[in-house]
DNA sequence: ATAAAAATTTAGACTAGTCTAAATTTTTAG
DNA sequence: CTAAAAATTTAGACTAGTCTAAATTTTTAT
């Protein structure tokens, strides 16, 4: 099948493509995978040979249908394992990503099927990210960033765009957990920071940097 | 830390050493790892450089204390994952070995600790193999081979020495499951085959080849 | 429109792990 | 004790994935 490395490139291409329009650049991939552009170029040629990406030299890449299928399968595994680690083993949501990065490469269709069933076919991972279906579809969510919410509106915290341990621990510190309801009490015009009221009545200060990385949906 | 490949060599050295006296030979390792003797020689030099094995050229190898510690850790992970796959995900005991071969290399101390707790700190894997302790001790079991049991004796099936899918499915077919009690009804002097009586009263024919690979303990 | 800057690819080299073929050491048999 | 056989190691080569430095292409700015 495909090597760990190939799987990781495909996943990264999918991720970068989902956050922009047009082709994904060599440099963006190099930064994301913590390698050099020269190494990325080599790998892109290989992935193109295997028909996993569309690639014209100097023009960036995008996934083929087959490439996207593989990418979504890896993302599905990653997110299912994250659910397992949090729901069954009791890990914190800030501690599971790196372990899932390894578990996602275990090669067994049967394992994924059984794991999914065992977990009750979850729709979202511990960070609110939707879990691709076994048929290879990425469920769409209509969430907005907290930074785009008007003052006075009440919304529910549905996901995060940043997955670093530091960021997630900061949210824990602020008592901002997934699915909690919050009201935007004040918006500071100068630095775009927010004052946000929790259900408990307590208000917390949320910087623009943080608000940009929080996904929210209609309350209730 | 150590690469997958290094971990697999250490595990294999441990396995071969446990089934013989004296040093493990290059050829034995080559056969077991399905590589060539030349490749094994290269790797042995590397493992010796890392102080994981005692190695004198042409004289075979044995694990150092550190090498054994690493080997036991991998075996512990392998067996805990096998318990998970059978007990939690509902896999058959004949289907878990290959998946565990991959899962055993996931690098997280915390993961193993939590998995162990989650599984209720099991002492044995689905094949009756003892699970090394977190302190790095391999529990000793005083089992005998079914092929060494005298006619008329009643014993309990405690483990298997052969882990192939084919062998395990054959046992399923014979209704020989772990912890079932059996009585040796007849022993055939010519081919050493046995007639064995199950608790149900039914008798099954067990070839010497099969009996050699079944571990039994005192009944009850 | 062109020159400088930025992005990308190519060239050549390195490591881990593997192989075949050849050389060396140990073991076995006579 | 010696010669053949068996086991093991060494030599040289290959692949996947990576790197640095150099070459090439594209983009940007005057
Ligand atoms: Mn993750
Ligand atoms: Mn996640
Ligand atoms: Mn096994
Ligand atoms: Mn086992």
* pLDDT tens figures, A29-68: 999 999 999 999 999 999 999 999 999 999 999 999 999 9
Residue B163 has pLDDT above 90, yes or no: yes
Strand C bases within 7 angstroms of protein beta carbons: 7-12, 16-22, 25-26
Mean pLDDT of chain B: 96
Task: Judge whether B51 and B57 are in contact, CB under 8 Å.
Answer: no
* pLDDT computed for residue B219 by the predictor: 81
**Is A195's Cβ below 8 Å from some Cβ in B?**
no
Judging contacts by C-beta atoms under 8 Å, the chain A residues touching residue B89 are: 111, 114-115, 118
Q: Which helix (H) or strand (E) holds B67?
A: helix B65-83
Which residues have C-beta within 8 Å of that of residue A163, sequence separation ≥ 6?
A97, A127
Q: How far is B81 from chain A (nearest CA, A)?
A: 12
Q: Distance between CA atoms of A160 and A167, rounded to whole angstroms?
A: 9
What is the number of alpha carbons within 13 Å of residue A19 lying toward its C-beta? Answer: 11
B interface test, pick of A85, A97, A113, A165 with most B CB neighbours within 10 Å: A85
Q: Coil, strand or helix: which one is B51? A: coil
Fill in the DSSP letter of residue A85: I
Predicted TM-score (pTM) of this structure: 0.95
Residue range B204-217: mean pLDDT, rounded: 97
Contact B102 A107 (CB under 8 A): yes
Backbone φ and ψ for A163, nearest 5 degrees, come out as -115, 10
- The tally of CA atoms less than 13 A away on the side-chain side of residue A171 is 27
Mean pLDDT of chain A: 96
Q: How confident is the model at residue B6 (pLDDT cuts 50, 70, 90)?
A: very high
Q: Does B138 touch chain A (CB under 8 A)?
A: no
Residue A220 in this model has a pLDDT that exceeds 90 = no
Confidence of residue B1 (pLDDT cuts 50, 70, 90): confident
A101 near B CB under 8 A:
no
Q: What distance in angstroms lies between residue B97's CA and the mean position of ligand 3's atoms? A: 4
Distance of alpha carbon B120 from alpha carbon A37, whole angstroms: 48
Average pLDDT (B88-92) is: 98
**Cβ atoms B197, B182 nearer than 8 A:** yes
Evaluate if residue A219 carries a pLDDT over 90. Answer: no
Residue A1 pLDDT level (bands cut at 50, 70, 90): confident
Neighbours of ion ligand 4 (CB under 5 A): B 82, 125, 127, 129
What mean pLDDT do residues B173-195 have?
95
Q: State yes or no: pLDDT of A151 exceeds 80.
A: yes
- Quote the pLDDT of residue B140: 95
Mean pLDDT within B176-181? 96
């Amino acid at each position: 099948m495909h090597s760990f490395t190939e799987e990781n490139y495909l996943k990264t291409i999918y991720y970068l493509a989902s956050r922009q329009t047009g082709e994904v650049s060599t440099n963006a991939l190099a930064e994301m995978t913590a390698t050099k552009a020269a190494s990325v170029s080599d790998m892109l040629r290989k992935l193109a040979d295997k028909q996993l990406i569309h690639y014209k030299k100097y023009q960036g890449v995008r996934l083929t249908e087959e490439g996207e299928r593989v990418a979504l399968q890896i993302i599905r595994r990653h997110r299912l394992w994250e659910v397992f680690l949090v729901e069954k083993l009791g890990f914190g949501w800030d501690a599971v990503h790196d372990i899932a990065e390894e578990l996602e490469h275990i090669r067994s269709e049967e394992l994924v099927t059984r794991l999914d069933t065992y977990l009750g076919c979850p729709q979202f991972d511990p960070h609110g990210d939707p879990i691709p279906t076994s048929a290879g579809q990425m469920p769409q969510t209509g969430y907005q960033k907290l930074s785009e919410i008007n003052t006075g509106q009440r919304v529910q915290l549905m996901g995060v765009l940043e997955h670093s341990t530091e960021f997630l621990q900061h949210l824990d510190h602020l008592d901002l957990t997934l699915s909690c309801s919050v009201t935007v009490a004040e918006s500071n015009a100068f630095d775009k920071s927010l004052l946000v009221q929790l259900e408990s009545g307590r208000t917390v200060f949320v910087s623009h940097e943080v608000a940009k990385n929080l996904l929210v949906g209609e309350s209730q």
